[in-house]
Amino acid sequence: VLAPAAAASSTATSGDARKINSFMVCGTRFDVEGRYTLLKPIGHGAYGVVCSALDNTTGEKVAIKKINKAFEHLTDTKRTLREIKILLHFQHENVIRIRDILRPISYDRFDDVYIVSELMDTDLHQIIASPQPLTDDHCQYFLYQILRALKYIHSAHVLHRDLKPSNLLLN
């Protein structure tokens, strides 16, 4: 469920006027820069909500992850910062890239974090659950890509810690 919020508005922040688009997504308000137009919800969970969006500057589709109340609990704040730092550092074709971190509308009310990343078509869980049969070649190809990504992140002494089919995004 995606709908424009009651007010899409222009907001000035620190002397810098930016157009802000507001949308309601699965009961969560998204306030994103006018550069982005939200398209549809992709998923939601304890971490927040993810939507596909159109980058009106480049014409590319992206994913925007909103982490609600990112600073409410110290553990969650550290986890979010760690994820951002690691993903900004990584440069590998099998590891998702962060394209942008959206600036808050107001630093006085900076509660939520918006992470813009590549948009992937699906995840491994949806592929496994689909009626389409997976051949041995498919399985070998997926496993090879997963192992390439793991080798890369492990070479940086990083462990994923939540490796499961729904966290393996695919194009």
DSSP string, 70-101: TTSSHHHHHHHHHHHHHHHH---TTS--EEEE
Return binding residues for ATP.
66
CA 70: distance to chain centroid? 14
Q: CA 129, 130, 132, 136 torsion: positive or negative?
A: negative
Return binding residues.
66
For this structure, is 162 an active site residue?
yes
* Residue of 20, 115, 10, 17 whose CA lies nearest to 70: 115
Q: Which residues, listed in sequence order, are joined to residue 23 by a DSSP beta bridge?
A: 4, 30
Q: Which residues, listed in sequence order, are joined to residue 63 by a DSSP beta bridge?
A: 52, 117
Catalytic residue among 16, 121, 137, 162: 162
Q: Find out whether 112 and 43 touch, Cβ atoms under 8 Å.
A: no
Q: Which amino acid is at 126?
A: Q
Report the C-alpha gap between 96 and 78 in whole angstroms.
20
Active site residues: 162
